[in-house]
Amino acid sequence: MKKKIFLSLAIAATAAIPCHAQTDSTQEATLQLKEVTISTTRIPEVKSNAAATVTIIDQKQIAEMSKVAPDMSHLLGLLTPGMALSSNTTSSRSQSLRGRSALILIDGIPQSTPLRSTDRDIRTIDVSAIDHIEIVKGSTALYGNGAIGGLINIITKKNAAHRAIGGQTTLSGSTYNFFRQGKGQGYRINQQLYGAAGNLDYLVNGTFGRTGSSVDGDGQFISPRYGLGDTYTTNALVKLGYAFSPKNRIELMYNFYRSLQDTRLVPSGGKYLKQPAIGIVGDRDPLAVDEGTRYNHNAYLKFTSHDLFAHTDFETAVYGSSLYTIFDFRKANPAQPRWEETSGQSAVKDRKFGFRTQFSTRLIFSDNAFTHLVYGYDYLFDKTAQPLVDGRYWMPWLTSNSHAPFLQTKTTLWQWFNIKLGGRYDFINVSVPDYDVLRNKLSAPQVHVKGGSLRYNNLSFNIGLSYNRYPVFQPFVAFSQGFSIFDLGRTLRAAKADVLEKISTEPVKTDNYEIGAYSNINNWLQINGSFFYTYSKLGSDLKIENGFWVVNRTPQKVYGIELSADAQILSNLKAGANLSWFEGKLKSASGDWDTYMSSISIPAAKLAMYVNYAPVKNTYLNLQYIHTGKRDRFAPNAAGAYNEGEGKVNRINLLNLTAGVRLKAWDLSLSVSNLLNYTYYTPSSMLMARNAEYAHADGRNITLTASFRY
């Protein structure tokens, strides 16, 4: 009894890991919480030894959350401490990681496009194709360009069965608020096949789905601008593996993703702080095309060899990707002209090819002293442009070649003291062709920019210490550096100078400091807490100028805390919560840190709590509570309006519920997002302070899901 009382107090006083998946039959038989091994740090290790704050979203959590919110931006916003909630749109611009951009990877393949950001790199794969997600917080030198806020590595599914064929079929249907007014019906179909034949194993996973028109808590259609409503999504994943021997294996992966909006609604109204932008039935402009990601192809061919030579493993991978994303249609606006005073629709096209080669060597000096070395070389070719759908170019094709040798070491002394030390040297050459800046006004002077090469050479270090002798208190301290060519195309497309060398294109470099601790109390309570501080001489925040977002190069610092706990109270009862809070400041010309960073980068504090309960055998009941705080850091301007990115963000309280039953091979569930049908504005719409984007979030949404495994 005392144990339960102590645990309840601990959960109330601490913050915890986000909503976890249902308790299954294996969990019901034990009170223990398992340690999780991660690979994104390039040295496979238990996360408490990583000398960093790491969040793991496992396959059970993903399967559970996909019943409530089958969208990557929703899933990460709900389950990741240090990341803002989804904007409920296709854009993830306001979903930074600890106030800075994160490098998004799919099986190690970069999805981020630093030559011209899409703000869509989170939504490049469907949740049905994902096995688990590893999130390493803080700037890191492990993967080079882009990881100034951390890494989000999405690991795709793989075959784990030892039979010739197996599979799973999943069907789901969703509706807003019990079919109210017949609005918002959607569906998803997923088919998975996997198996092995001799040394060959395979997995094929396909998903097709369509969302209904988005409806708020009042039953009103939400504005379709950048909307997730009325989108159809297709995802296909294929994995083939062949084991030449117990030590040597080759693997091929291909993933295709498409998500486009096809809606009968058009945006209407919207007045900041007064009324929401809504959707009404109407005809879109005949020049407009469906917005969204037309395609995202990712593939790799990987070879691994264990004990290639003495105490050394080897891995090499060749990969490629191709992306085409289209943004929303903009009607010509004489008050704020763009694209030579014409209507238009911009897009981003990106092509990547790269390879990674690394060796992993274990040096054993004694039972109390051994070192793990990971060393190798990364290469990446990246080509990106921002054309308009009509063929004009807002940003020309930019081409970069990146080379980077790296070394990461982890030395363990006395079995419990770990010293991590690593470095990476990035050589990046960006080729910029001669180009004409696409003017906003026809009367503006034509700017012709003479192209050339931009060369970036950067050495990044990381060092971390962790002490793991006592499970109840495992402290760590870390320093890491990050490096990013932050959205280079955004700068080049608005160039005022006629020579490339006169344009400010310096990279963002960050220094990240973190101190924290993990605690494991008898394998039934896990607690994690950390404090972090990040500084950059050149900023990566965005600010608005003449109606366009530009990079704010002012020095920045970001600092904050993350607290979490996770507890297996009974064999059929699990609970926890997490809390994240951080703040960002800009350094003024006077040398004082007296200006707040905009809410685009710095979200309000977030608290998430969950309870997973299995009332009887083969049933599950999961309740998740999300609270975001208030952030009101800015005053209206001289005209009495808020600058874009500086709007007032009010508190939000949400409840999500999932209940289900397993009957042999069947899993039947009912999920309800926004259980109380709460009508609220999304944090993104509040902070943006734009009339057209001031929109409500989704109201109550009910999803019925049936899965059959065979």
134, pLDDT greater than 80? yes
The string of DSSP codes covering 103-159 is EEEETTEE---TTS--S-TTSSS-GGGEEEEEEEES--SSS-TT-SSEEEEEEEP--
pLDDT band at 546 (very low <50, low <70, confident <90, very high): low
Residue 154 near residue 107 (C-beta atoms within 8 A):
yes
Q: Please, what sign has the CA dihedral across residues 171, 623, 682, 149?
A: negative
pLDDT score at 140: 67
Q: What's the one-letter identity of residue 416?
A: W
Query: Alpha-carbon distance 501 to 405, whole Å?
Result: 28
Q: What 8-state DSSP symbol labels residue 78?
A: H
Q: How confident is the model at residue 35 (pLDDT cuts 50, 70, 90)?
A: low
| Integer Cα distance of 485 and 501 in angstroms | 16
Whether residue 147 has pLDDT greater than 90: no
Q: Which of 127, 81, 133, 78 is nearest to 107 (CA)?
A: 133
pLDDT tens-place string over residues 66-122: 898 889 999 999 999 999 999 999 988 889 899 888 899 999 999 999 899 898 999
CA-CA distance, 170 to 665, in Å (whole number)?
A: 12
The Cα–Cα gap between 203 and 134 comes to 21
* Cβ count within 10 A of residue 247: 12
Neighbouring-strand partners of residue 361: 312, 373
- What CA–CA distance (Å, rounded) separates 79 from 56? 9
Instruction: Compute the average pLDDT of residues 585-600.
Output: 91
The Cα–Cα gap between 253 and 565 comes to 35
pLDDT at 303 over 60: yes
CATH 2.30.40.10 holds for 2-709: no
Interior angle at CA 269, CA 263 and CA 271, nearest 5 = 135
Residue 699 pLDDT exceeds 90:
yes
List of residues 6+ apart from 135 with CB closer than 8 A:
54, 55, 56, 57, 80, 97, 102, 150, 151, 152, 153
pLDDT at res. 485 = 83
Instruction: Map tokens 């060393």 to a residue.
Output: 375
Alpha helices in 428-574 (DSSP H): 488-492
User: How many percent of the chain have pLDDT more than 90?
Assistant: 72
CB 534 within 8 A of CB 511: yes
pLDDT of residue 17: 32
pLDDT one-digit tens code per residue, 36-74: 677 777 777 777 777 788 899 999 899 988 898 889 999
pTM score of the predicted model: 0.91
Average pLDDT over all residues of the chain: 89
Share above pLDDT 70 across residues of the chain, in percent, rounded to a whole number: 92
The set of residues, in sequence order, having a beta carbon less than 8 Å from that of 512 and lying 6+ positions away, is 138, 139, 140, 478, 479, 480, 481, 482, 532, 533, 534
CA-based end-to-end distance of the chain: 42
- Here the tokens at position 360 are 């992993």
d(CA 572, CA 609): 17
| The pLDDT of residue 254 | 98
Which residues are paired to 641 by β-bridges? none
**The predicted structure's pLDDT at residue 489:** 85
Give the pLDDT confidence score for residue 196 in this predicted structure.
95
Confidence (pLDDT) at 42: 76
